[in-house]
Chain A
Amino acid sequence: MIKFWNKRIKYGTLTENENLDAELAAIKKEIKSSVKKKFAGSLAIRMVDSGSCNACEAECNALANPYYDLERLGIHFVASPRHADVMLLSGIMTFNMTPHVKDAYEQIPEPKWVISIGDCPVMTAPFEKTYAINAPAENHLPITHHIAGCPPSPLEIMQGLLEFLRKI
């Protein structure tokens, strides 16, 4: 373990050492201040997958890696819809998931918002409508904001969250 701490001290903070462009730095600064203003410093997101290929989930998980480290901006993913301000909806709404997604939405306390992520919820991904698909998601839930991409990169997701914060 001592070897790890030695390396850790030598490395310093990866998030800052990485040559991230000024855009990312600006986004982070702006997100931080609007989260502070609009959500008293903490925006809680409940991620719900309504039938994705798992790429959007992988990118949302990547937001927690040392390069992006979303949580230090006050945005965090929570385990229960009852703890959430926002539902982040990924995937093409399937027939089998529809009732469960609606259930989860009802469990979020007011005021609440839905952000859809990826091309699937708006039916712009290559998937076509079949019997097993109930998309687009807007037929079932009020969507405040959409983050496009297949899948959107972590940077695009951060930009999308910022646009959402500007919108409300």
Chain B
Amino acid sequence: MRLIARYAKELEDTFEIITVYEDETQREVVSKEHPHIKTLAKKHPAAIWFERKMHDDFGIIIEDAFDKRPLVHQERFPRDVHPLRKDFDKDTLQEAEYLPYKYEAINGDGVFQVAVGPIHAGIIEPGHFQFSQAGEEMLHLEVRHFYKNRGIEKMLEGKTLTEAKPIIERISGNESIAYQICWRDIYLQAAGQELPMALRKRHAFLLELERIIHHLTDLGFIPNDAGFGAALAYGSKLAEDARRKMQEFTGHRFGFGSIDFTNHFIDTASAKEWLRELENSIAFFEDWIMDIPSLWDRFDTTGALALQKAVKYDTVGVVARASGLSVDRRINDFYLQHGFVMASEVSGDVGARFKVRLAEVKNSLGMMEHFLEEDDTTLEIGNITDGSYTSFTESSIGELFMAIDIKDGLIERFFVRDPSFINWQALHIMMHSDIIADFPLINKSCDLSYAGNDL
């Protein structure tokens, strides 16, 4: 049973712990005076971040956890402050005394530690990686994040769904459309309305456009991290073309604010022409890149994630599909009718993730052609009803899960689990047979979000 998320919410006198599995949702209630729960990490290793986060956010104690270190709260964070509790209302914090974080480290003769980050050498987001090295070989890696924690969950409390929208679409810039579609589904559930097919197709079109922009960027950056710069020039050119199309279709290069209930005009003829052009460019790219032995020498067998481990760590998205897992939120009638074919590889290495991205770009282009239509349907949204709502979307990284509780028309609790939150926890498994120089390549092949993870 795949673990999707585990989070807490505060009720009147109790905390409710919600554990979402693929097939069922379990709820557990603990008292506020004595908030103790048992860990799930023995069965689902990826549960540990959820539980450590729960402790930081609410002060819930995980009795038998093997790892009780803080997760979101860093060295200078005030002790015994649990900001997601309703009685916490400060909007500034005083820096506390520096308390060192104890990294997971392997010790022994000649074994040394390499600390990388939080600020990295390229133009990328901040996060920390702590390596235990025996010469060039990586013995262990600890991923440590939450430098970018903006307190999004608390920020959204007390807002209406409409007020929350501009913030939700900016949680992770690369996945903006996916976040907006999760928001849309929750809004529609709360209003008890169905989305007209024309709007659904428009939104699906934009989601696939976002996916190909993200994948094209990676198809350039992954070879670049193996020292093959020409692919980056080619990939970034195609990505820029696609981003300009996003600007043309939505008025914004990242599609911020584009998922609404109005159908805007898309010039289908020129869009189709562009899709076909891109198809040709991709065919050329594939023919070229597959035939470079020195590149595939770096890609093949590097950063392998075995199927058993991919299952054990409950991975999602490109990472899971490259290891042979069938996890994709697009496996449904709507997508299948429009030509969706799930990309899949079995070797779980950098090469497999690269090929999955390539296959997904090609499949998305086909689907986008089917999604295109001229239609000016709009939808009026009625009043919303209070309740607990959840939704899923397949973002360019993987399965995105969002849960919103609405009370008196306002958000009572906002929770989102970015696909990165799960996949980051499996990253260290991929390092065991590789050298530290392969790390940037492996990391890029997964291309996970820091902002969506940290919230």
Contacts and interface: CB of A to CB of B under 8 A. Distances in A.
Interface of A: 1, 3-4, 7, 14, 47-62, 64-67, 77, 79-80, 91-92, 94-97, 99-100, 104, 125-133, 150-151, 153
A61 B451 CA distance: 17
A48 B125 CA distance: 8
Interface majority SS (helix, strand, loop, mixed), chain A: loop
13 contacts: A48-B119, A52-B451, A53-B170, A54-B125, A56-B173, A77-B123, A92-B150, A94-B147, A130-B150, A130-B155, A131-B93, A150-B256, A153-B253
Given A51-B150, A55-B173, A61 B291 contact: no
Nearest to B247: A153
Nearest to A101: B119
Interface in B165-196: 166-167, 170-174, 176
Which 3 A-B residue pairings sit nearest by Cβ, starting from the closest?
A55-B173, A130-B151, A132-B151
Given A52-B125, A58-B217, A60-B123, A94 B150 contact: yes
Contacts of A3: 284, 287-288
A2 to B, nearest CB: 10
B237 A67 contact: yes
Interface string B45-84: 0000000000000000000000000000010110000010
B148 A61 contact: no
Interface residues of B, number: 52
A128 B256 CA distance: 17
B451 A131 contact: no
B148 A66 contact: no
A94 B166 CA distance: 19
A65 B236 contact: yes
B173 A151 contact: yes
B145 to A, nearest CB: 10
B211 to A, nearest CB: 14
Contacts of B76: 95, 99
Interface in B137-175: 146-151, 154-155, 166-167, 170-174
Given A47-B123, A77-B123, A131-B83, 15 more contacts: A1-B291, A4-B230, A48-B119, A49-B119, A51-B150, A54-B173, A55-B170, A55-B173, A60-B123, A96-B149, A97-B147, A126-B166, A128-B167, A130-B151, A132-B83
Interface in B66-122: 74, 76-77, 83, 88, 90-93, 118-119, 121-122
A11 to B, nearest CB: 10
B119 A1 contact: no
Nearest to B214: A58
B425 interface: no
B149 A53 contact: no
A49 B126 contact: yes
Given A54-B450, A57-B125, A132-B83, A100 B237 contact: no
Contacts of A92: 150
B121 A61 contact: no
Interface in B217-237: 217, 230, 233, 236-237
A151 B243 CA distance: 13
A97 to B, nearest CB: 5
A131 B236 contact: no
B240 interface: yes
B154 A130 contact: yes
Nearest to B284: A7
Contacts of A94: 147-150
Interface in B255-300: 256, 284, 287-288, 291-292
B236 A62 contact: yes
Contacts of B315: none
B140 to A, nearest CB: 23
Contacts of B125: 49, 52, 54, 57
A57 B150 contact: no
Contacts of A7: 284
A118 to B, nearest CB: 10
B424 interface: no
B246 to A, nearest CB: 12
A1 B292 contact: yes
B92 A131 contact: yes
Contacts of B449: 54
A58 B221 CA distance: 12
A54 B169 CA distance: 12
Of listed A1, A80, A97, A153, residue having the most chain B CB within 10 A: A97
A7 B230 CA distance: 12
B199 interface: no
B27 to A, nearest CB: 27
A100 B118 contact: yes
B237 A65 contact: yes
Contacts of B254: 55, 58, 151
B147 A127 contact: no
B1 interface: no
B365 interface: no
